[in-house]
């Protein structure tokens, strides 16, 4: 992410957090009596499996072993109810997942090596072939596993913000406008082709400028909300935003 993009994201004032937040999904997932428990668990697994897979691969494991370990970690997360100790006041969910994975790897790796691959574990359906392609395309031999994990976490949040914004525009009947403007979300301010955008939208250049400004502004707001969803309290948002932007800037 460029300096200009980071500034675009960082230049935002605090705003109320969503009522239905990331933490509401986590808390539903840990409550086995909740009717939303199963769906919440699947949501968490599908959202965060790749940062964890990238951490395991970055630790030196082969693709097959990393797939097995990541799958088994999630199976253990569900079966052993690791989430029972999670609470917003205890800190960032990013940190909880990474520490839980580290403990799992330290305790389980040797035992798992002796088991038949696949076993009778409960698996979450991940596209492991695409995961490996993504890992190889993004890896840096100079990066420690923790940094690989944090960068993938940050990109996951960035993607979540984009998806949430796309849904917003679709609900407002502006899906076409979003698709036309989306490629400009991360373009340097001085390099935005407003005349080309206006021609594609069949509008004036001034109208295109206003539409893109609104989209970029709303993207910053949504990104803040997504980051806020993963921390314990509103006062933690600023420091987490700074860290996420710092990690993204290293890509």
pLDDT at position 56 over 60: yes
Q: How many CB atoms lie within 10 A of CB 41?
A: 21
Choose the most confident range, by mean pLDDT, from 16-30, 49-63, 85-99, 112-126. 49-63
For the chain, domain boundaries: 3-249
User: Minimal CA–CA distance to 216: which of 247, 181, 250, 249?
Assistant: 181
Range with the poorest average pLDDT among 2-11, 113-122, 167-176, 213-222: 2-11
**Residues with Cβ < 8 Å from 118, sequence gap 6 or more?**
68
Per-residue pLDDT tens over the stretch 119-170: 445 455 555 566 666 666 665 555 688 888 888 888 888 888 999 999 999 9
In the predicted structure, residue 35 carries a pLDDT above the cut 60: yes
How far is Cα 19 from Cα 26, in angstroms, rounded to an integer? Answer: 14
Q: Give whole-number Cα distances, 249 to 47, 70, 135, 185, in Å.
A: 22, 27, 18, 16
Of residues 86 and 179, more confidence is placed in: 179
Per-residue confidence (pLDDT) for residue 245, from 0 to 100? 87
Give the burial class of 123: count Cβ atoms within 10 A of its Cβ; 0-12 exposed, 13-18 middle, 19 or more buried: middle
Q: Kindly state the helix (H) or strand (E) to which residue 19 belongs, with its residue range.
A: none
Q: How large is the average pLDDT for residues 85-112?
A: 76
Nearest to 53 by CA among 68, 38, 66, 35: 66
Distance between start and end Cα atoms, the chain: 6
| Mean pLDDT (the chain, rounded) | 77
Q: pTM of this prediction?
A: 0.64
How far is residue 236's CA from residue 172's CA, in Å, rounded to a whole number?
31
Reported as type and span, the H/E element at residue 128 is helix 128-138
Query: How far is CA 193 from each of CA 103, 188, 198, rounded to the nearest angstrom?
Result: 49, 10, 9
176 pLDDT above the threshold of 70: yes
Rounded Cα gap, residues 227 and 92, in angstroms = 10
pLDDT in tens, 177-199: 999 999 999 888 899 999 999 99
Decide if pLDDT at 116 tops 50: no
């Amino acid at each position: 992410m460029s300096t200009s993009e980071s500034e675009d994201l960082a230049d935002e004032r605090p705003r109320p957090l969503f009522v239905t937040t990331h933490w509401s999904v986590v808390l539903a997932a840990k409550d086995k009596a909740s009717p939303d428990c199963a769906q919440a668990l699947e949501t968490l697994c599908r959202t965060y499996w790749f940062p964890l897979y990238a951490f395991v691969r970055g630790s030196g494991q082969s693709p097959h072993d990393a797939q097995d370990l990541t799958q088994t970690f999630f199976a253990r997360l569900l079966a052993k109810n690791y989430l029972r100790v999670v609470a917003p006041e205890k800190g960032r969910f990013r940190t909880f997942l990474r520490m839980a994975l580290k403990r799992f790897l330290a305790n389980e790796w040797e035992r798992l090596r002796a088991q038949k691959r696949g076993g009778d574990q409960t698996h979450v359906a991940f596209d492991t072939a695409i995961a490996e392609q993504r890992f190889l395309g993004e890896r840096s031999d100079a990066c420690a596993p923790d940094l690989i994990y944090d960068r993938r976490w940050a990109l996951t949040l960035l993607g979540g913000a984009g998806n949430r914004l796309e849904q917003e525009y679709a609900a407002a009947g502006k899906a076409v406008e979003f698709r036309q403007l989306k490629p400009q979300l991360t373009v340097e301010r001085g390099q935005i082709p407003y005349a080309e955008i206006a021609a594609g939208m069949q509008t004036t250049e001034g109208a295109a400028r206003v539409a893109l400004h609104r989209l970029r502004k709303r993207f910053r707001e949504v990104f803040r909300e997504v980051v806020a969803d993963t921390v314990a309290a509103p006062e933690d948002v600023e420091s987490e935003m700074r860290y996420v932007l710092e990690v993204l800037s290293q890509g």
